[in-house]
Structure 1
């Protein structure tokens, strides 16, 4: 998994993230600054996903 979401792609990625994972707040997402590990941690926390599952979800959106 990429450690960071490309800066130029971040705005689009945030929109897709919020669309798919609405429990995440804008502030929480912004605080990760595109760090994929932190984003996966948020998915684990909010949705009870396993680490591997959360990482796969981030990878899907980052394509």
Structure 2
């Protein structure tokens, strides 16, 4: 499992901004969960998703 996140967790968490589905993406910095609707990318730190809009990276 990418980013050491369980399938069960990925099935229930959604973007806190638009409620879109999140997909795990591995990056050089570790990883992030990217919203498939609005594009916000939420960091995953120490295998814990940081689902705060203020911490999210905006799409380019």
- Normalised by the length of structure 1, the TM-score is 0.31
More strand, by proportion: 2
More helix, by proportion: 1
- Normalised by the length of structure 2, the TM-score is 0.32
